A and B are shown apart, each in its own frame.
Chain A
Amino acid sequence: MNRIIGTSLACAGLLTATAACGGSDSGGKSGGPVTVTVMTWESPETNTAIKKALEGFKDDQIKVQLIDTPSGGYGDKLASLTQAKKLPDLFWCGNDTEQQYTSQGLLVDWSKKIEDGDGDFKADKFVGSAMTNWKTGDGLMGGLPSLMNTYGVWYNADAFKAAGIPEPKAGWSWDDMYSAAGKLANKGGAKYGLVADQLTGADGPFTMSMYSVSAGGAAFTDNVNHPTKAEIDDKYTEGVEKLAAAIKSGAVAPPGYDASNVPALFSGGKVPMMFGGQWLAAGFQTDKPKIKYGFAPFPQVNTPTTLYDSVGICTPEYTGDEDATYKVLEYINTKVWDAVLPASPVAPPAYTPAQESYFSALTKAGQNTVVDTVKADLAAEKTVGVRFTTQWASQVVDLTTAYWQPILNGKKPTSDLQTYVGKINDLIKSQG
């Protein structure tokens, strides 16, 4: 019996020791090179390109290892690794993850390093709005923005031509958009003229801010990272009423329309217009849809207004060697995109000197409308955040499902918008 217990304890000890060998603390403080691990959510093709680019990183004291992992279920993977305290030294993260993890003290603060950086790798070389939004209320930065997400309206130029409607272009109005959607609905195998999950889904209230802000009204919230209030004014209500009317007429797909398959339907000519990000350009470049398509900025009321969003790279506070990790982070931001984006132009880098490779790749591929719209978005004077990044953001999603979507479907009156925003304000207050 004693022997069995002894063997069991030995096995348990061995397992514990094995588990302790994983994670990001694979540093070489004892003299050998430090290993910096990197995990992305990219496709296998993009990961191969990143891996190849990382081979160019030369430092005898640092070894870079890209973790081979499928991109699917990245959120679950991240949650598990976080709870197990086994996060890689550098991992792809959204602005919301960075904000929430930083506020929990889980990430290394890079704010001082990037503010006082040497050479060209400095805060002022990044897109300004990205740097502002990656700072917590205390001025900490648990990661650095790497790629910008810009949004707009993808349209089927063939469908517009067939319907005799002018193609969308910068400066077009919301009324133009809904009118075009009405004319394109139920034609050529398309059921709706416009599919805009970003307006009808969980992020809809934030996207609608573009209408009110463009019209000179108030944004849905004063700050997505550290909100003190949510607000719905007359201009905002006007925008909601127009959207609800377009949904009622069948021009715009209602809330609940399955958005997961929309890019494929767009490529097949079954969706003539859709809201979407610039990253779809990379997929279209590979898949080559049979339709002629374009990418236009969001419509406006008076002034151009767009959505702000960016993704980045975060570092856990228990990274083995902060300096080594920062060197690799710098290399990714300054060199890796130049090697990766020409083959797969997914997004413009947040580090502005690296943006040229992205735009030249798109230009070379003839995606000129994408270049113009992304440039316009990056230069937009007025931007609104895509969603709350706070820890209680999921509770707002439930409120949105309970109020926003029934209002758009005409099942609740627009006057309920005030009840909706009141409940969000109660939530903000209750969270201090």
Chain B
Amino acid sequence: MNRDGRRRKVPRAGKVGRGLSRNAGSDVKAAYLFISPAIIGFTVFVVYPLVRSFYLSLTKYNGLSDPVFVGLGNFRRLFTVDPAFWPSLRATGYLVLLYVPLSLALGLALAVFCNQRFAGVRIVRTLAYLPVVLPAVATITLWKFILNPQVGLANTILDKLHLPTSDWLQSPAMSMPSIVIVMLWGVGGTMIIFLAALQAVPNELYEAARVDGAGPYSVFFRITLPMISPIMLLQVILQTTAALQTFNQPKILTNGGPGFSTNVLMLSIYNNGFSNLGRIPQLGYASAQVWVLFIVIIAVIALTAKFSSLWTYSDNTPD
């Protein structure tokens, strides 16, 4: 009964329930139907390979005969016997330490530069982004010729300028920095994301800062950087993940050498899983390496995300 004393006509509960459940059931079916391509794709291309690779990591498997279960044997070999594993992990870490900060700094610097208004800025942006769209294998191969210590362009120019030359890719000390130089050739990808972030910073903030007498350094460090810090976090995660999975550059430029100096984990996995002519693949062992890399990536991302609140700015104040 409502306030005016009239009895409201209430539909019978059972009838309502049946009607709702019929509609809800139909909606649920439709929902599952719509997401089924994604679920099937995820199951076939992510879940199954993940489960299968974990199983293979516990086996001795060469792809030619049936896998033989060896328990943690592959992991034991990885951590205690294999002379290539720890150097591979070190090389991967060194590459991440060199590449990630440099790519962020250079990408941001380039983005700040391209965010100015001057004649030809669009051409500069295009040129900066161009290496990203060029075929990677072709450009890396070209770099191999440029960095040839005997007949390469880099040493020829340095020599003409009476500057010290280097063995570049053939020197254990310089090989990884050389690879990072080649990777930084594609820094336009980082730049374009930073550029988008910079253009999203409200102009009023800059105007207010200038009115308050802030100089360019203060503006950059107190307004620009905090405002783009969420994008910086994204970039750190993206670049770190990409650096941990670097493959093309060391494969084409050095194939892991000299010694183990550029034998990053991805390359080591490839060489064990897809051996050269005349060598039997070690797919079980390579799968164990994949799991180590997977765990390293997850750990690094988790740590980055955990400590990101210390340096990323987020506007959580209620309206």
> Could you tell me which A residues sit within 8 Å of B by CB distance?
74-76, 78-79, 82-83, 94-97, 100-101, 104, 106, 189, 191, 254-258, 261, 265, 268, 270, 389, 391, 393-395, 398-399, 401-403, 405-406, 423
Contact = CB atoms under 8 A, between A and B. Distances in A.
B274 A76 contact: yes
B302 interface: no
Nearest to B275: A394
A255 B175 CA distance: 13
Given A255-B259, A394-B282, 13 more contacts: A74-B277, A95-B278, A96-B278, A104-B62, A106-B64, A255-B257, A256-B175, A257-B170, A389-B278, A391-B62, A395-B82, A401-B257, A402-B84
Q: A76, A398, A402 — which one has the most chain B CB atoms within 10 A of its CB?
A: A398
B62 A75 contact: no
B235 to A, nearest CB: 33
Nearest to B145: A261
B258 A405 contact: yes
Nearest to B281: A79
Contact of A258 (B169, B259, B272, B276): B169
B259 A401 contact: yes
Contacts of B49: none
Q: B83, B170, B281 — which one has the most chain A CB atoms within 10 A of its CB?
A: B83
A94 B278 contact: yes
B257 A256 contact: yes
Nearest to A76: B274
Contact of A270 (B87, B150, B258, B281): B150
A270 B64 contact: no
Given A265-B151, A270-B150, A394-B282, A255 B276 contact: no
B258 A255 contact: yes
Contact of A405 (B169, B259, B276): B259
Given A258-B169, A265-B150, A270-B151, A75 B257 contact: no
Given A191-B150, A394-B282, A401-B83, A78 B277 contact: yes
Interface in B236-282: 257-261, 263, 271-272, 274-282
Contacts of A189: 150
A257 B65 CA distance: 37
Q: B87, B169, B280 — which one has the most chain A CB atoms within 10 A of its CB?
A: B280
Interface string B131-170: 0000000000000000011110000000000000000011
Query: Size range of the interface on B?
Result: 20 to 34
A401 B271 CA distance: 14
B172 interface: yes
- Per DSSP, chain B at the interface is loop
Contacts of B279: 96, 100, 393-394
B282 A97 contact: no
B277 A406 contact: no
A94 to B, nearest CB: 5
B147 to A, nearest CB: 10
Contacts of B280: 100, 104, 391, 394
29 contacts: A75-B275, A79-B63, A79-B274, A79-B281, A94-B278, A100-B279, A101-B64, A104-B62, A104-B65, A104-B280, A189-B150, A191-B150, A255-B257, A256-B170, A256-B175, A256-B258, A256-B261, A257-B170, A258-B170, A391-B62, A393-B278, A393-B279, A394-B272, A398-B84, A401-B257, A401-B259, A402-B83, A402-B87, A406-B259
A74 B278 CA distance: 10
Contacts of B278: 75, 94-97, 100, 389, 393
A398 B63 contact: no
A281 B202 CA distance: 69
B99 to A, nearest CB: 21
A200 B63 CA distance: 31
B275 A79 contact: yes
Contacts of B170: 256-258
A76 B278 CA distance: 10
Contacts of A398: 82-84
Contact of A399 (B64, B83, B263): B83
B174 to A, nearest CB: 11
B28 to A, nearest CB: 17
A311 B293 CA distance: 37
A106 B62 CA distance: 13
A395 B275 CA distance: 12
B32 to A, nearest CB: 13
Contacts of B263: 401
Q: B64, B148, B172 — which one has the most chain A CB atoms within 10 A of its CB?
A: B64
Given A79-B63, A104-B64, A261 B257 contact: no
Contacts of B151: 265, 268, 270
A189 B156 CA distance: 12
Contacts of B83: 398-399, 401-403, 423
**5 nearest CB pairs, A to B:** A256-B258, A75-B277, A96-B278, A402-B83, A398-B84
